[in-house]
Copies of this chain bind each other. A is one copy, B any other.
């Protein structure tokens, strides 16, 4: 473990929950609320209040006994941990239905993820724009990624081409890959890979259906 980062370590389950606190707190802020207790967050999200308190500890934000935490401070703390207070450019591979859905989703900008271009090898799609994002020929990926100094690549292609896409992204200097294909990709260990496969999530759902005899 890297000693320099030891104080920044946050468990993965906590990171996942923090993303939910973010959305809840943004809504509360919009409604004009200023202070929130761990009890209320827990109640709204169906979590345990002790767990919420523990999660908040990682942000370093301190609250006031009897009152709770300042929502603005909590939001700033969460954005800091999740790195959502900086804008990061990303490119997307695969302008199929899933890729299109990702381009259409406007929520990414709010948390600092800016999809600047997409790539596809279907010539019918090349040159078109989806939600302001151009679809570019696949062959130009590596050069474009290098010129734009992109660090994040998003893979939204079928299983068969996921590995070759990952190789191209890495060839283009990408450091982090968000993989939506069901394929586990092989990369050098200095490349960060996060799998967003919803098949994993479906496996949990169908497993629970069986166990609960529904």
- A residues adjacent to B (C-beta < 8 A): 5, 8-10, 12, 15-16, 18-20, 23-24, 44-46, 81-84, 88, 96-98, 100-101, 104-105, 107-108, 111-113, 151-152, 159, 175-176, 178, 180, 182-184, 186, 192, 194-212, 214
> In the assembly, what is the distance between CA of A29 and CA of B84, in Å?
43
| Number of identical protomers | 2
> Is the beta-carbon distance between B200 and A198 smaller than 8 angstroms?
no
> Is the beta-carbon distance between B101 and A202 smaller than 8 angstroms?
no
> Is the beta-carbon distance between A206 and B23 smaller than 8 angstroms?
no
- CB of A206 to closest CB in B, whole Å: 4
With A15-B204, A184-B45 as given contacts, are A104 and B97 in contact (CB-CB < 8 Å)? yes
> In the assembly, what is the distance between CA of A100 and CA of B116, in Å?
23
> Is the beta-carbon distance between A88 and B19 smaller than 8 angstroms?
no
- CB of A15 to closest CB in B, whole Å: 5
- Residues of B within 8 Å of A184, CB to CB, are 20, 24, 44-46
List 24 A-B residue pairs with CB atoms under 8 Å apart, sorted by A's residue number. Answer: A5-B211, A9-B211, A15-B207, A18-B203, A19-B182, A23-B183, A46-B186, A81-B207, A81-B210, A82-B203, A84-B203, A88-B209, A97-B100, A97-B104, A98-B101, A98-B104, A100-B100, A111-B199, A113-B206, A178-B205, A180-B198, A194-B202, A194-B205, A198-B198
